[in-house]
Structure 1
Amino acid sequence: MPELPEVETVRQGLQDLTLGSAVLGVEVFLPRTIAYPAVEAFRYSLVGTCFTNWQRRGKYLLGSLNSGASLVVHLRMTGRMLWLKGSVPLSAHTRVCLGLEGEWDLRFVDQRTFGQMWLVPAGVAPEQVITTLQTLGPEPFSTAFSDAYFQTALERSKRPIKTALLDQTLVAGVGNIYADESLFLSGIHPTTPASRLSSVAIAQLRETLVRVLQAGLNHRGTTLRDYRDLNGLNGNYQGQAWVYGREGDPCRVCGTPIQRLKLAGRSAHFCPHCQPELP
């Protein structure tokens, strides 16, 4: 699933390419992609509008329209937003296509079909329609994600620290890739109970997490299978990953083979030498 760096890269592309272009037509090829409102209302309300701004909240993309409405997109596992000339043939996995001025299309392509789109009416906050937005934790790059906040959030949790980092109510936008990378660079084993981390370790982990997310953003995200940016290009972070996706490969620091385990149904990659378990 795309994480903060991937979604932010897509947001930047949308901001650069779509602003001011009127939506001339809307095609919905998979009705269940439209979570709200009904498909016909979705089509009717979008035609004739223009995008004025794009924001990101966690893993959600929020597009402001000159009508006052908002188009919200969640890519889920395999969703892509692609900016293509209208003459380019539609992919078999195209779920929604917005035809814009200049014969450009903004297409939502989603192989696994878990992605969703919402058109929130003018005068209504997206949080009122998409209730999960209400529960998101602070953004990692915000001042709200402080050492004090992070310590308070973790000190009473007996969950493995890797599981805690994936909790979107604790911090928004973090997923498997950047959690694994941050734990490695902090020397913390993924199964360590969050409550056993010292205040120094928590501060270091918070700083490292922010640094790793910024590195992912600088490399325009990570492409292992499905993720592409708005122009269909791969991210580049995977080439420098420390542990994620490197099971059996030698650790870049000590040479020990990288291991993988399952925690709450999710994979965790780590180096058993650089990230020793607590006694």
Structure 2
Amino acid sequence: MPELPEVETVCRGLNYVTSGLVIMGADVLLSRSVAFPDSDSTFVQEVKSQKILQWHRRGKYLLAQLSEGYLGVHLRMTGQLLWVKQDSPLQKHTRVRFFFADNQELRFVDTRTFGKVWLVNQDVAPDSIITGLQKLGYEPFDAQFSVTYFQDKLKRCRRPIKTVLLDQGIVAGIGNIYADEALFVSNIHPQTLACDLSSSQIERLHSAILEVLETAIASGGTTFSDFLHITGVNGNYGGKAWVYGRKGQPCRICSNIIEKIKLGGRSSHFCPQCQKG
């Protein structure tokens, strides 16, 4: 699933190519990809002639501020937003199309169909319709995500720290890839209980989260399977990953072999030497 760096990369790309443009029309090819409104014809009618003012990212959600409301997108596991020419061959799993002037088009492509699109009227708050927004914790780069806040959340939690990092209600946007990476950078074993972390470990982890996310954003995110930039280019962070996706390979620091375990139903990659339990 695309995580914060991937969604942030898409957000920046969308702002670069679509900010200030008017949506000339749309076409819904798969009804269940549109979560709201529940009528394809209403969605097409109400999104037409809307001007895209600016795209924002909240956690793993994309939110476009329109001239009269908001357009929300969640890519889920395999969703892609691709900026293409209207006459280019239609991708097999294209679900929603947005048409612009000069033969340009924004396509929502989603192989497994878990992704969703919302169109929210300007008279209501986006989180009243896109209810997942209500459950999100602080953004990692916001001032509210302080070491003090992080310590307060972790000291009362008896879950493994890897599981806690995936909790979007504590910090928004981190997923499996960057949780593994941040734990490696801070030398913390993924099975360590959050409440057992020392103050210095929490400070290191807080710093590592920001460091890893900044590096990944600068690399355009990670492509292991489906993620693409809006122009169809792969993300480059995968080649720089410390542990994620590197089971059986030597650690870049100590040369011990990277291991993978199951934790809370998710895979966790770690170095048994650098991240001793």
Give the TM-score of the pair, scaled to structure 2. Answer: 0.99
Whether 1:165 and 2:165 are equivalent positions in the alignment is: yes
What is the rounded CA distance, in whole Å, between the counterparts of 2:271 and 2:239 in structure 1? 18
SS in 2 for 1:247: coil
2:71 matched to which residue of 1? 71
| Cα deviation, residue 239, structure 1 | 0.7
Distance 1:132 1:149 in 2: 22
For structure 1, which runs of at least 5 residues remain unmatched after alignment?
A: none
Question: Which range moved further: 142-151 or 38-47?
Answer: 38-47
1:123 aligned residue: 123
Q: Does 1:213 align with 2:188?
A: no
Deviation at 1:85, TM superposition (A): 0.6
- Tell me the SS of whatever aligns to 1:153: helix
Name the SS of the counterpart of 1:102 in structure 2: coil
Partner of 2:84: helix, strand, or coil?
A: strand
Aligned 1:1-279 pairs, distance under 5 A: 1-38=1-38, 39-67=40-68, 69-277=69-277
Deviations 1:231-252 (A, max 9, x none): 0000100111000000000111
CA distance in 2, matches of 1:188, 1:124: 43
Q: Which amino acid aligns with 1:235?
A: G
Aligned residues: 276
Looking at structure 2, the residues matched to 47 and 138 of structure 1 have their Cα atoms a distance apart, in angstroms, of 33
Provide the rounded CA distance (Å) in 2 between the counterparts of 1:132 and 1:166: 15
- Taking the aligned partners of 1:167 and 1:93, their CA distance within structure 2 comes to 30
Helix, strand or coil at the partner of 1:96: strand
- 1:12 Cα deviation after fit: 0.3
The one-letter code matched in structure 1 to 2:19 is L
Q: Deviations over 1:165-193 (max 9, x none)?
A: 00000000000111100101111000000
Q: Runs of 5+ in structure 2 lacking a partner?
A: none
Q: Cα RMSD between the aligned structures?
A: 0.7
Q: Give the secondary structure class of the aligned counterpart of 1:182.
A: helix
Measure the CA separation in 2 of the matches of 1:33 and 1:117. 6
Shift of 1:66: 1.0
Q: Residues 224-279 of structure 1: CA distance to partner in whole angstroms, max 9, x if unpaired?
A: 110000100001001110000000001111111100001111010000011011xx
Residue 124 of structure 1 and its aligned partner are, at CA, apart by: 1.0
Q: Distance in 2 between the 1:4 and 1:184 partners?
A: 18
Point out the more displaced range, 242-251 or 126-135: 126-135
Deviation at 1:51, TM superposition (A): 0.3
Q: CA deviation at 1:135?
A: 1.4
Question: What is the deviation of 1:35?
Answer: 0.3
Look up the SS of the partner of 2:106 in the other structure: strand
